[in-house]
Amino acid sequence: MTRKYRFQIIISCFLLLTANTIQSQSSKVPPYKNAKLPIEKRVADLIGRMTLEEKVYQMCALRLGEGDEIFKTSGNYSIDNIRKLMETHGVGHLSCPTTDMNAAKSIKTANEIQKVAVEETRLGIPTIINDEALHGCMAKGSTSYPQSIALSCTWDLALMSEIGDAIGKETFSRGIRQVHAPVLDLARDPRHGRIEETYGEDPYLAARFGVEFIKGVQKNGVICSPKHFMANFVSDGGRDAGNIALSERELREIHMVPFKAAVTEAHTQSMMAAYNAIDGVPCSANRWLLNDLLRNEWGFNGFTVSDWSGVNHVFGHHKIAESLPEAAVLCAKAGLDVDLPRLKSYVNLIQMVKDGKMKESSIDENVKHILRVKFELGLFENPYIEESSAARLEDSPQFRQLARRAARESIVLLKNKNNALPLSAKNIAVIGPNADRLQLGGYSSRDVKGPTPLQGIKNIFGADATISYAKGCDLTGTNKSGFDEALKTAQQADVCVLVMGGRNAVTGGETQDRVDLNLMGVQEDLIKEISALGKPVVVVLVDGRPSTMMNWIGKVDAVLLMYFAGEEGGNALAEILAGKVNPSGKTTVTIPRHTGQLPMPLIHRPYGREGSFAEYPDMPKDKVYNSVSDNRYYPLFPFGFGLSYTTFRYGKIGIEKKEFSKGEEIKLSIDITNTGKMDGDEIVQLYLTDLYSRISLSKKQMKAFSRVSIPAGETKKVTFALTKSDLSFLNEKLKPEVEPGEFEVFIGTNCLEGVAERFRVK
């Protein structure tokens, strides 16, 4: 044997040995940990290795804090306690463990929790840490943006996209990988306590904002769980979590719209079921809702979660089962994958499977949905977060400026008699229970530092003005002992700014439904007494819902609707009062004259009797503050209403022809001229009317809008396009159909003031 041949044999043996070693090593790595394999194969492999207990615990969550049914603490974090609960079977989800921690501690805690899940459990399945992020990450030190109802008043989708991106970055930096947001319920009855969490009453507008929020957040590796699926805020009288006795047509045309967009356009990776029932079937146990509609029809591929203790509510409140374990089976079989936030309800599924009350294969389907998303998030490969990332983003000047911009755009000028605003006076009395209070609304970041309205006014007006303050009264109660001081303060001033309204968990918020929308306590009495002094009066409403104003609006000179405008709201308000910012916000909820008019959203079907009251009225401007007419169909402020310090003129609608074929795109344009002396932003709104339809439709339905900046004296052309879907309605089989006939398009500054043009579809 030649030397060369011997050398070739040695090399071949070495290569064969190396290959076998590599193959042996790779065989030790289970397929589910191989990132190169398709996700479905990884899911199938992992499911096949899991015990029943491990599967069920993936459908469960831990909540660390006071009130937890199994792990009772005073709210103090302990990794040892977490380890005790996770080391045997792991756990799929962890609910809000870092909410009350600063940036450094929260990310350290998140990584410690994840380390237990990944390195100290049998299969090393990472957990998903979830928290709230309705208008900013809820963890301590995060940026607080205006509440959702305020954000919708900006009508600025690009801004919403930026805020969603910022929220995603902050939540990810804390180790939070799932947020219970956005709220896509509609504000069709403002008596409901949680109206502040919505994007207003209109399904199209809510869908547009929801899509931008979800896309912005999810591109940062944080999944969204839009809520509350579905129609949770519209039971009789705006009562929380009531049965929804609406037709499927009504649900599809109105309440499903934003949720469907969240799935089909934004590709949300989770969905939260609501507390309420639909036609007697609780949403958490509604297979038609969670499976037939969401997955089979819309193509949803993520996992569903309960609202907090939702499974327990199915048993304890809806009473559709005789025991909690039986309720858990009903929910899991219906397609509810995860029970938040505690180890209480779904842990019973283990015994129910062993007792033959449920098949393990059914559990497998739930767990597959959860594992698929965990693989998609890359949690198996990258379970930890860089510990310095949260500190870099904490109290970010960039995010604070974004919050200020949002606050500026969100504030709505409702009344401005004789151009009372902007203020020219230098002696300003700031009065009211919300004047020196930072109001953020529900689900807000902890320990946020920001200016109150009083502090903002002092910041912006500075040494050039004399600012005096008196509280006057509380938000609720009958105590008028502060009136004398308030009246004295007002008497010595040139103008009075009254900051009134409400407060989350006091006059509104979760479980805080209302029977009327008047300002609570003696606030209206204070407005009347100060107005009687003859001084110019500006009322600022800081609240989570619109108020009725008929008792006092005719007595004051100007009204600003601020809602909860975030941590920079005080500065933004002052900039508008001073004229440094031109108000541009517009209402996204119809504001009634009287509570008894409710509900009165823009979208409603025609009434079946003729008369001046039969449709949403085109009420003359001079009737707006006239309290003589109590007609229940006249709003105080219509949907889309908002004033500016400048004025805009609408030209004629440009349309290329008057007759179109089905499926043909209809292009429209209109010239908007700023006829005032101040640059301003106008929100141009397009509404469509199908003049004759064999199934009755709402008189006006919003189909498009555009926020446009127009310098003083200039004209800008705004263009729109209507598609086949915009012209369609749901026929007798609940399928989209475009019926030949005449349509009217209306383009205006709100739903009542504008110009119209007609066209036909053949």
Indicate which residues carry an active-site annotation: 307
Residue whose entry in the numeric block shows the structure tokens 């200016």: 451
Tally of CB atoms within 10 A around 545: 27
CA distances from 3 to 6, 458, 707 (A): 5, 94, 83
Note if the bond before 592 is cis, omega within 30 degrees: no
Which of 375, 37, 41, 40 has its CA nearest to residue 177?
375
- Buried-exposed string 256-292: b where 16+ CB fall within 10 A, e elsewhere: bbbbbbbbeebbbbbbbbbbbbbeebbbbbbebbbbe
Return the structure tokens found at 246.
């609406």
Pairing assessment for the beta strands 648-650 and 659-660 based on DSSP bridges: unpaired
Which of 192, 376, 180, 196 has its CA nearest to residue 272?
180
Which of 327, 325, 337 has its CA nearest to residue 362?
337
Task: State whether residue 327 is helix, strand or coil.
Answer: helix
Task: State whether residue 747 is helix, strand or coil.
Answer: strand
C-beta of residue 430 within 8 angstroms of C-beta of residue 469: yes
In sequence order, which residues have a C-beta less than 8 Å from that of residue 114 and are 6 or more positions away?
126, 127, 129, 175, 383, 384
CA distances from 11 to 1, 5, 18, 21, 338 (A): 15, 10, 11, 15, 56
CA 451, chain centre distance (Å)? 24
Which of 225, 207, 119 has its CA nearest to residue 171?
225
C-beta of residue 668 within 8 angstroms of C-beta of residue 745: yes
Which H/E stretch holds residue 373? helix 360-376
C-alpha to C-alpha distance for 309 and 158, rounded to whole angstroms: 35
- Buried-exposed string 666-681: b where 16+ CB fall within 10 A, e elsewhere: bebbbebbbebeeebb
Which of 572, 582, 574, 560 has its CA nearest to residue 462?
574
User: E strands along 494-535, which residues?
Assistant: 495-501
In sequence order, which residues have a C-beta less than 8 Å from that of residue 493 and are 6 or more positions away?
425, 427, 428, 429, 468, 535
C-alpha to C-alpha distance for 129 and 124, rounded to whole angstroms: 15
C-alpha to C-alpha distance for 389 and 220, rounded to whole angstroms: 13
Return the structure tokens found at 1.
């044997």
Residue whose entry in the numeric block shows the structure tokens 């009288």: 237
In sequence order, which residues have a C-beta less than 8 Å from that of residue 5 and are 6 or more positions away?
none
C-alpha to C-alpha distance for 429 and 413, rounded to whole angstroms: 20
Return the structure tokens found at 53.
């207990």
